[in-house]
Amino acid sequence: MGSVLLARVSTSILQSMSLFDDPSSVCCFHFDKPPLLTKPPELPLLDDVADYGEIWIKYPLEANPLPLQYGHIFKVMVEFRTIVTDLGYRLFDPLRSKERISFQEAMEYHSKLQRWYESLPDPFTAQKLVLPIHFLLQ
């Protein structure tokens, strides 16, 4: 894929997924309301996290800048929000909110979250967390 086309695709994906990845989707649990966006955009996430770019930060006591692992952060947060939004919509959809969630459904969501957690990239495992943004993933 050409670099200009890749930049446009990356920008479109970042913009649409950033709207979906809005933390207010998690607030639906506080207010017992369904999420405003019920499913992620139809644009697929890019396979290569390097295509999302990188953000480097410089701490005063460090000699060199450190990467935030932005591509990984973006991808795993969107995957997490997809699961949480689906659960929020299931719980608070006006047409289904009177139905209790079954044990089987709860276990399916638990399995999805467990698979998500177990598939976190190496820099985000509990033993290797370094930067404050990484703690959000835990």
Q: Where are the domains of the chain?
A: 3-135
Return the C-alpha torsion angle 82, 88, 93, 98, nearest 10.
140
| pLDDT 10s digits, 94-121 | 776 677 888 999 999 999 999 998 888 8
Overall pTM > 0.85:
no
Q: What are the φ and ψ backbone dihedral angles of 43, each rounded to 5 degrees?
A: -70, 125
Per the CB < 8 A criterion, the answer to whether 80 and 116 are in contact is: yes
| pLDDT 10s digits, 10-51 | 555 655 555 555 565 666 666 677 776 667 777 777 778 787
Per the CB < 8 A criterion, the answer to whether 71 and 49 are in contact is: yes
